[in-house]
Amino acid sequence: MAEKKTPTEELLERISKTEELLEKISKNLEDTNKEIETNKESAGYTKDSKMSEPKVSETKPSETKSKKMVRGSVAVALGIICIVLIAGFGGAMLYTVTLLNDKNNQIDLLNTQISSKDSQISQLNTQISDQNSTISSLHSQISQLNATVLSLLNQSEPYIHSQLLGYSPTNITAHNRVEDWILNWTPATDVRIIRIQVWMGNPDNVVWEGDTFVTIGKPSDPWNSSSYADAIQLLVHYQFDSHAPSPIPHQLMFDLTPGFKVAQGQTINVYRLFVNTELYTVYAGDVQVIIYYENT
């Protein structure tokens, strides 16, 4: 199948055909001129007779016919040339108009694509602005939450708490003993007791002995192990025996980790025994118990 020619190729082909036609017309004109010259010579005209006075004679029919043929051929040639030029100019104009229309269509398409891209860019810029506003809002919320957490941390109680129980000294007569449940503490919530420190005073120049019990619940006899059950537990027992005056502090720290759980409503009790072995009354028998615990 032959390829379709472009308007330019068609125009060049027409011009080539026109040139061939002009060559044929020119050749015909030359042949006609030669025929005229031949007719003149046969009628009595020579190169030498040009200088003499021309003779008046009637025009022959063959000469008139030749002139008419020349004029007709020239007119036909000029008409053909005009037609070819008009056709070529029209083809060139048509090609130019078609090319301009194609370019205009391409420009319109590109402008449409640019407009669409500009619209997409505008939408993306709007989305970016919205996202930036969201990010700013989230940063603000994070700052508020951090401030809230910091405030709660500042307001919260320490992880490990302590409870101090104290009993003041009293007058204890010679060779006498005092004993009783003297202190107690009931936690408001469930706690885990991890340490207990017991201090039994430091009477100066006194020979004495004593015991301190810290229990969950209140056993009937602190020294009797059968008095303790599931709800009644012995936490610590501090015993001090002295047969001579001692300047050392009468205190001891008991580590109970991982700890004893004390449920809400249960009570921590302190039992104290103090024996005065002197021959005179002493001012003693004071006790301090520090309970270290954590919330459960």
pLDDT 10s digit of each residue in the chain, 296 long? 556 666 666 666 766 776 677 677 767 666 666 766 666 566 554 444 444 444 444 445 555 656 666 667 777 777 777 887 887 777 788 888 888 888 889 999 999 999 999 999 999 999 999 999 999 999 999 999 998 888 776 665 567 899 999 999 999 999 999 999 999 999 999 999 999 999 987 676 788 888 999 999 999 999 999 999 888 999 999 998 766 666 666 889 999 989 999 999 999 999 999 999 889 998 988 999 999 999 88
Distance between start and end Cα atoms, the chain: 96
Residue 155 is predicted with a pLDDT of 60
Residue 55 within any structural domain of the chain: no
Do 192 and 82 share a structural domain? no
DSSP H helices in the chain: 7-42, 61-155
Residue 52 within any structural domain of the chain: no
Residue 47 is predicted with a pLDDT of 46
Residue 77 within any structural domain of the chain: yes
Do 263 and 207 share a structural domain? yes
Give the end of a domain, one of 128, 156, 184. 156
Do 216 and 127 share a structural domain? no
Do 35 and 151 share a structural domain? yes
Helix (H, G, I), strand (E, B) or coil at 50: helix
Give the end of a domain, one of 126, 156, 186. 156
Do 15 and 147 share a structural domain? yes
Q: Strand 251-262 vs strand 191-199: parallel, antiparallel, or unpaired?
A: antiparallel
Query: In whole angstroms, how far apart are CA 150 and each of 1, 43, 136, 141, 155?
Result: 87, 136, 21, 14, 9
Residue 53 within any structural domain of the chain: no
Do 69 and 132 share a structural domain? yes
Do 244 and 199 share a structural domain? yes
> Which residue type is seen at 1?
M
Residue 181 within any structural domain of the chain: yes
Residue 50 within any structural domain of the chain: no
Orientation angle between helical segments 61-155 and 7-42, nearest 10 degrees: 170
Residues spanned by the domain of 196: 160-295
Do 149 and 24 share a structural domain? yes
Q: Do residues 186 and 267 lie in contact, with contact meaning Cβ atoms separated by under 8 Å?
A: yes
Give the end of a domain, one of 108, 125, 156. 156
Residue 54 within any structural domain of the chain: no
Do 188 and 278 share a structural domain? yes
Tell me which residue of 197, 215, 196, 193 sits closest to 294, measured CA to CA. Answer: 193
Do 17 and 147 share a structural domain? yes
Sequence-separated (6 or more) residues with CB below 8 Å from residue 75? none
Q: Is the pTM of this model over 0.85?
A: no
Do 118 and 4 share a structural domain? yes
Residue 205 is predicted with a pLDDT of 75
Residue 51 within any structural domain of the chain: no
The CATH code of the domain that includes 257 is: 2.60.120
Do 271 and 127 share a structural domain? no
Residue 292 is predicted with a pLDDT of 96
Total count of domains within the chain = 2
